[in-house]
Structure 1
């Protein structure tokens, strides 16, 4: 089953209803196979949003994802999305910047330089 701009599969509709948005990765997985999207969403939901206590609070989980998105380079939308989510859950600008700076240790300074190109979309628009 493929999706169009006007018609969501049941899996994509569930993601949209649960999160209030869909990401390009959700649309891609849905187009490949809605069952893959359902399984991906179940894993992501369990890791990020599970009701039982986790060792890391939600703000910290998003800060980790900011660092990973920075270190993997080429994912400016991920940096923006995760940074906005971290801020929405109480992270300060400095905490987001530190998550990005820490990513430079394994990924190198080019990763940090790329991340700084999108930071204004997180802090200047909010």
Structure 2
């Protein structure tokens, strides 16, 4: 098919991306060569999603990102590590967010034992031990933010029970629906739209059960 004569200048758009971000990625360069209009529109979307201030502070935003990228095993997360430092997070702050991602992964083990060995390990007791481990990792991080990170990590794994558990805890600690919306929106990049669909469905179900405020 012939090239679009009205397409914007991909080289110029790529230069703008590099000037703003300090880097370009392989798909940026591909779009610049073959779909410059898409590159322009995607760059606007990316800026709105990840860089333009919404309700989370830069520190809160990058704390969520650190936990999410660890949970999603996102190799290219180093970009957000740099942003975390620029937002004022120390290496210890980043390590704490990563540790939250790690401890929340253990909920799958708790569920397995509760389902198969309930005679020796009562589900309620296991839940309390899981939350105790979470509290030990949370340390001095605000409970609402810590549980928001954890809910986003669980949503990245498409783990309904874990997502709902931490959403309820986050809301009880003062997290707002707008903050949850922002944190969950980040799922789009490392995890994809289908994961975000399921995360919001978990939220809807929890709201119907009167565990949390509704998403809309």
Aligned residues: 98
Q: What is the CA-CA distance between 1:28 and the residue it aligns to?
A: 4.0
Offset of 1:102 from its aligned partner? 1.8
CA distance, structure 1, for counterparts of residue 37 and residue 105 of structure 2:
33
Quick check: 1:11–1:34 contact (8 Å CA) kept in 2? yes
How many Å apart are 1:32 and its aligned residue? 4.9
CA RMSD between the two structures: 2.4
TM-score (norm 2): 0.39
Matched, 1:49 2:47: no
Could you say if the C-alpha distance between residues 104 and 25 of structure 1 is closer, same or farther in structure 2, counting changes exceeding 3 Å? farther
Distance 1:106 1:11, change over 3 A: farther
Deviation at 1:15, TM superposition (A): 0.5
Please give the residue correspondences for 1:78-97 in structure 2 after superposition, counting only pairs within 5 Å.
78=77, 80-97=78-95
Unaligned runs of 5+ in 1: 2-7, 109-126
Query: Within 2, Cα distance between the matches of 1:49 and 1:30?
Result: 21
5+ residue gaps, structure 2 = 4-9, 107-216
Are the structure 2 counterparts of residues 49 and 77 from structure 1 closer, same or farther at C-alpha, using a change threshold of 3 Å? closer
Q: Quote the residue 2:29 is aligned against.
A: 27
SS at match of 2:28: helix
Write the distance in 1 (CA, Å) between the matches of 2:59 and 2:50.
Answer: 10
Mapping for residues 1-126 of structure 1, pairs under 5 Å? 9-50=11-52, 54-73=54-73, 75-78=74-77, 80-107=78-105
Q: Kindly provide the CA deviation profile for residues 79-124 of structure 1, in whole angstroms up to 9, marking residues without a partner as x.
A: x22112101220111210111112224556xxxxxxxxxxxxxxxx
Greater radius of gyration (CA): 2
Q: Tell me, what secondary structure is at the counterpart of 1:9?
A: helix
* Residue 23 of structure 1, CA deviation: 2.8
Asked if 2 retains the 8 angstrom alpha-carbon contact of 1:72 and 1:107, the reply is no
Structure 1 residue runs of 4 or more that deviate by more than 4 Å after TM superposition? 105-108
- Aligned CA distance change for structure 1 residues 27 and 93 (closer, same or farther; 3 Å): same
